Structure 1
Amino acid sequence: MDAQSQWTGLDAGRLDRIADHLERNYIAPQKIMGCQIAVARHGHMAYQKSFGSMDLERNKPMADDAIFRIYSMTKPITSIALMTLYEKGYFQLNDPISRYVPSWKNHRVWVSGEGEDMVTEAPKRPVSFRDVLSHSGGFTYGGGLPGVGIQHLVDKTYRELKIRTFGGLDSPGAFLDKLSQVPLLYQPGERWMYSLSTDICGALVELISGKPFAQYLQDEIFGPLGMTDTSFFVAPDKVDRFCANYQRGPDKKLQLIDDPATSAFTKEPAFKSGGGGLTGTTADYMKFCEMLRRGGELDGHRVIGPRTLAMMHMNHLAGGKDLSQVALGSFSETSNEGVGFGLGFASSMDEVSTGSLGSGDYYWGGAASTIFLVDPKEDLTMVFMTQLMPSGTFNFRGQLKSLIYSAIVD
């Protein structure tokens, strides 16, 4: 056994299968333009490699410090930020959000119909902080997810009120007040639906802390962890490191959908989306994951307490059910069987039901097929970055878990 394998308990030869798999199945046939992966165990980097191109049009090879749109991998960062305010005593999980946003006392719950014919009822209880952290408050994405569109009659109300996260111009306060006018899709806490709930969390961070959301993230997370390349926009001196973003066309060939030179991500947005607005590097996100693996601390900087973090990746779904029993809608960043959901993270509850190797990992992903996981039992972290939309195009998570977990030999 080589030194690396002794430190990590991961067989280096087996990990080399990752390169063969990605090159043969994705890079060579140009199913993706390029990618990066980093795998660490016991705090030691076990595997790290860049593949392919970061910009096919400019023929640029994938740079180790390439910057990616991480989209919904923003959500765990935002959730951690809000929970740091929980630790400071600003709220309890079951507190109504109307305590900070009085207009939320006016919420109604959808029963049937649309427009003037819509029938609603009073909520059985107010929407709580736990509800928005766990996507269980009755909100939707308002038909705003690329490639998904309107899923429910309620979504039309979001459109009518111009509730937007990407490209939105509302202040956090105005955003929250608009949401008081939208009927909840279901009674708070009773179901689960992927939604702009984490954008709500980001707006609450700003409202409660009194700091701009981006500044709070910098002060509490990015600065302490040394995440120097993570931001809501790519600065002019970093644009040459910014990846192009693609989708597969009808002919299954890659189509450019966001040129890094003209991308909206090169300009600071008015609304900082806590649900999907960040860009960053593999190295930066690995620092975030290592902080999680270490129970909320990295290099002497504690971001969150270990018991708070442990509670965050427990299953908070009603009755301890998995997503297959309570989820509405057809889209999120996870499969549903054997998967629970906590406060900002999905969690593997049952290996047999999920059909993938694991030991109770928690995780999430982003719309451009980026993924990460943290496994406290195996002391393992993994970050995979590419830029292919939508995220459900290929099962990178399942495939990479098979390759990584089968390399564990201790």
Structure 2
Amino acid sequence: MVARGEETHVEVLGHRAVGGAQMTRDTVFRVASMTKAVTAVATLMLVEECRLRLDDPVDELLPELANRRVLRRVDGPLDDTVPARRPITVRDLLGFTMGSGLLLVPPDSHPILQAMTVLDLNQGIPRPSVPPAPDDWLPRLGSLPLMHQPGERWLYNTGSDVLGVLVARASGRPFEQFLRERLFDPLGMADTGFAVPADRLGRFTTCYWTDPRTGGQAVFDEAAGGDWATPPAFPSGAAGLVSTADDFLAFSRMLLDGGRFDGERILSRSAVELLSSDQLTAEQKAGAGLSPDFFASHGWGFGVRVVTRQTELGHPVHQYGWNGGLGAAWAIDPVNRVIGIILTNRAFTSPVPPPVVQDFWTSAYQALAD
């Protein structure tokens, strides 16, 4: 799907499952880490209502994260720690500088990563059936030291999961209920949520991946009876949502129009500008990133990557958005007023999107006629 102004171009290709029904425009996909932008918007809505403040510590609402200890070395033993220099703030969670997150090292190669796995924190490939309910999940996270001092280093993913718990506590309602009432219903995102109802499973995809043991294609998650067929105990603000192309188009149009949708204000223009601006210092980017050269041409806003230097076709400066590792990618270009969305049912094999995604962006931009 590519949209510009009033024009929207959609191509529907392939099948929902190998040997299964053909894709349709309303097919439901696992958008995985594209969830992070939705979670950031929900958080900023509460910041605008002064229920949260960007630079306030989260200790009052998230006491499980108060009085942090920090590893002396990220690969060191869990009991070799120093006190945190300051509390974790809302800004730290939004910008992924809270001090915990994913590391670009082999899984379980460090004691801290082994502990995260044992505690079922689900900080790798999304598995909604794994983590416990929020009020159990957060104490488990809080039992572990931070990997870096708060505010010191960008670390991917975990901040968005914590934000889901924070939004629920700050709003006084479950995270999924807040999203439904404040975002999904106003935007008409009827097919977006943390699970697929039984009457819509016929429109849901089977997800495939490259099996790390065999190197061959295998089923990662079935549509019926899979991880997204029932509501999860932990609605992941990092990677839990399913959605459709048109639902995410509505979300994107709201952001592109400065927080307004069908004449109603969802978010302020100032909040959208904050979300879509690079929030990191050079020091916070050092040694971070999902690929060695990620921060050479990108920054990080709140839940989205921001292009800071154009190095390839299809990704102009100021474009912002993010990918979903289970086969999705999405971005908004506020300069050219372009929205691009590609949803597939084949998981990525690395942080760098596969050729089908790269070619989508190249083709979308070469087709623009100014």
1:12-57 Cα shifts (integer Å, max 9, x gaps): xxxxxxxxxxxxxxxxxxxxxxxxxx10112421x21101111113
Selected match of 2:240 from 277, 285, 294: 277
Selected match of 1:386 from 344, 352, 361: 344
Partner of 2:223: 260
RMSD of equivalent CA atoms: 2.5
Alignment of 1:50-199 (within 5 A): 50-58=12-20, 60-112=21-73, 114-115=76-77, 118-141=79-102, 149-150=107-108, 152-164=110-122, 166-168=128-130, 170-199=132-161
1:346 aligns with 2:302: no
How far the C-alpha of 1:208 sits from its partner, in A, is 0.7
The letter of the residue matching 1:361 is Q
Partner of 2:171: 209
How far the C-alpha of 1:232 sits from its partner, in A, is 0.8
Is the CA contact (8 Å cut-off) linking 1:205 and 1:213 kept in structure 2? yes
How far the C-alpha of 1:79 sits from its partner, in A, is 1.0
The structure-2 alpha-carbon separation of the partners of 1:206 and 1:351, relative to structure 1 and needing over 3 Å to count, comes to: same
Selected match of 2:253 from 281, 286, 290: 290
Is the CA contact (8 Å cut-off) linking 1:312 and 1:343 kept in structure 2? yes
How far the C-alpha of 1:187 sits from its partner, in A, is 1.3
* d(CA) in 2 for partners of 1:164, 1:245: 18
The letter of the residue matching 1:222 is F
Range with bigger deviation, 300-309 or 334-343: 334-343
Partner of 1:399: 359
Partner of 1:14: none
How far the C-alpha of 1:299 sits from its partner, in A, is 1.1
How far the C-alpha of 1:396 sits from its partner, in A, is 4.1
- SS of 1:109 mapped into structure 2: strand
Partner of 1:303: 266
Range with bigger deviation, 245-254 or 180-189: 245-254
- SS of 1:247 mapped into structure 2: strand
* d(CA) in 2 for partners of 1:359, 1:399: 18
| TM-score where L is the length of structure 2 | 0.90
Greater fraction helix: 1
* d(CA) in 1 for partners of 2:178, 2:340: 26
The letter of the residue matching 1:66 is T
1:326-362 Cα shifts (integer Å, max 9, x gaps): 416659xx9443100011110000113x675413100
* d(CA) in 2 for partners of 1:272, 1:133: 17
User: Percent of counterpart pairs with the same letter?
Assistant: 28
Is the CA contact (8 Å cut-off) linking 1:366 and 1:391 kept in structure 2? no
How far the C-alpha of 1:252 sits from its partner, in A, is 6.7
Is the CA contact (8 Å cut-off) linking 1:86 and 1:92 kept in structure 2? yes
* d(CA) in 2 for partners of 1:358, 1:397: 16
Partner of 1:368: 326
How many residues end up aligned between the 2 structures? Answer: 362
Structure 1: runs of 5 or more not aligned: 1-37
| TM-score where L is the length of structure 1 | 0.82
- SS of 1:189 mapped into structure 2: coil
Structure 2: runs of 5 or more not aligned: none
1:227 aligns with 2:189: yes
